[in-house]
Structure 1
Amino acid sequence: MSSYTILFLGDVVGKSGRAAVREGLPSLIDTHKPLFSIVNGENSAGGVGITPEIAEEIYQAGADAITLGNHAFNKRDIYPYLETNKPIVRPSNMPQGVPGRGMCIVEKEGIRLAVMNLCGRVYMDSYGDPFAEFDRLVAELKTDHLFLDFHAEATSEKIAMGFHAEGRATAVVGTHTHVTTADEKVLPGGTAYITDVGMCGPVGSVLGMDREIILKRFKTTLPQRFEVSNNPGVICGVVIGVERETGCATSIQRIRFGEEA
């Protein structure tokens, strides 16, 4: 069977994360030749949220779609942008009437890829049931190619979603915790899975934040104003191989590109 490739980059954090994507994504596209490139941009504006200008910057770097997460609405100027036809998705398991949508379709070479965004509920805000919402969205689909960015805190919830979506999703990739896990696999049902892709953000930081500020917070327990680290950025992501005819994944590979820690 013929195949194609999906390139996905994890949470973009602040200026250094944006610079890493701006400079590195074109090179990654040239190397891996993905049919679709997807980027999680929910921390791209100062570490929380995204703006229309930053979204356009990510598209210009080569992204075909942008996923978000629990910080989707931290910047108010993104609200009307989410109502446009741009391929950007916020968590689908939110109340009706919230700006934007939780799934979009991107199409190339006859392949219609559904890009979906869901948030977990464990240690997160009050989101709707992500498992039921996944079922609802899948029931509406007219394509076998489905990419899910599951933005969640708990490892257990992410793993459970992988099994829940097995055989129905092309890929389930975890975001939000900013640390790459080493459990990438293709499940028997043909779904590529990884618990967390990692971040596109500053090396030598604590999840993208200035490490001295975070250390002071842990050592003193006193409130601190978190600031994104100014260290150079590194890209973390995955490359997924997919059968064109079935939408089943055949491979998943972790990638790390840019400055090393």
Structure 2
Amino acid sequence: MLRVLFVGDVFGQPGRRVLSARLPELRKGVDFAVVNMENSAGGFGMHREAADAALKAGADCFTLGNHAWHHRDVFTMMNDEVTYPIVRPLNYSDPGAPGVGWRTFDVQGEGGSRERLTVVQVLGRVFMEALANPFRALDDLLDRGEDLGNILVDVHAEATSEKQALAWHLDGRVAAVIGTHTHVPTADTRILPGGTAYQTDAGFTGPHDSVIGSDPAAPIQRFLTERHDRYRVADGRAELNGVRLELEWNRAVKIERVRIVEGE
């Protein structure tokens, strides 16, 4: 049995604050913690300060997303694979893209057994950047015949239909498919017939009183006037969202939502 915690998109300083405060406690009940750090640096990408704080709090692996290249720090960190266990989107068509789209970890599971866990990330294509086909990219990885152990897929995508279709496409071939990017936790947490755990979006880790992380004023003005205004990270209390998984033989035994709001 392998117990895994997946934490949804960390957004800005409030997200980093609640992650640092609550991840150590959550980490005690799991064997491995994956944290999506896509928005951890001011809402766009990840920098070294954010990565170091997350590692100190107990993160074992970082996933990113469509803002993967926003900060120069990330290029240097991707070259330091021992210190910074980063997984960027797999489906970049450029074979020379920095970093890797999947990593396999040797994890001490429940009862002291050693388990293999592979963390993969893909970007969706609906309403997003035109990357290589995420379905085909994952098929190619799974068809290589490597011992990937328990496989967890972070699908960073906008459209719920694309996320759901990918989960059904992978059902029985991976242990879990967890969605990120839209920042709102969904209530469709379940295990599919083939044994793959699924949730359309894990939710995010950031400002609670916000529009997906930003102070509401600028998004409201954009919708009222069709003009862009400068977005800024919202202040105030923060929330942490994610899922807790129990995996065995590349199948899910259990999945449950995790939600913590500061002050509640």
**TM-score band, normalised by the shorter chain?**
over 0.9
Q: Match of 1:97, as an amino acid?
A: G
What does residue 30 of structure 2 align with?
34
- Structure 1 moving runs of 4+ over 3 Å: none
Q: Match of 2:20, as an amino acid?
A: R
In the alignment, structure 1 residue 152 sits paired with structure 2 residue 157:
yes
Contact 1:69–1:90 (CA under 8 A) maintained in structure 2: yes
Q: Match of 2:88, as an amino acid?
A: R
In the alignment, structure 1 residue 222 sits paired with structure 2 residue 227:
yes
**1:148-199: CA deviations, max 9, x gaps?**
0000000000000101111111100000000000001001111100000000
Distance 2:143 2:238 in 1: 39
Task: Give unpaired runs (5+ residues) of structure 1.
Answer: none
What does residue 253 of structure 1 align with?
256
Pairing 1:1-261 to 2, within 5 Å after superposition: 3-30=1-28, 33-85=29-81, 86-94=84-92, 95-109=94-108, 110-140=114-144, 141-243=146-248, 246-259=249-262
**1:18-61: CA deviations, max 9, x gaps?**
0000001011123xx11111000010000000012311211111
**1:41-86: CA deviations, max 9, x gaps?**
0100000000123112111110110000000001122112112213
Tell me the TM-score normalized by structure 2: 0.94
Percent of pairs with identical residues: 43
Distance 1:88 1:107 in 2: 15
Q: Match of 1:258, as an amino acid?
A: V
**1:106-131: CA deviations, max 9, x gaps?**
21221110010100000001110000
SS for the counterpart of 1:12 is coil
Report the alpha carbon displacement of residue 260 of structure 1 after superposing the two structures with TM: 6.1
Contact 2:2–2:115 (CA under 8 A) maintained in structure 1: no
Contact 1:10–1:178 (CA under 8 A) maintained in structure 2: yes
Distance 1:257 1:45 in 2: 21
Distance 1:131 1:260, change over 3 A: farther
SS for the counterpart of 1:199 is coil
Distance 1:47 1:81 in 2: 19
SS for the counterpart of 2:195 is coil
Contact 2:19–2:205 (CA under 8 A) maintained in structure 1: yes
Distance 1:203 1:88 in 2: 26
Tell me the TM-score normalized by structure 1: 0.95
Contact 1:64–1:106 (CA under 8 A) maintained in structure 2: no
Distance 1:133 1:146 in 2: 14
Distance 2:36 2:256 in 1: 17
Aligned residues: 255
SS for the counterpart of 1:206 is coil
Task: Give unpaired runs (5+ residues) of structure 2.
Answer: 109-113
What does residue 111 of structure 2 align with?
none
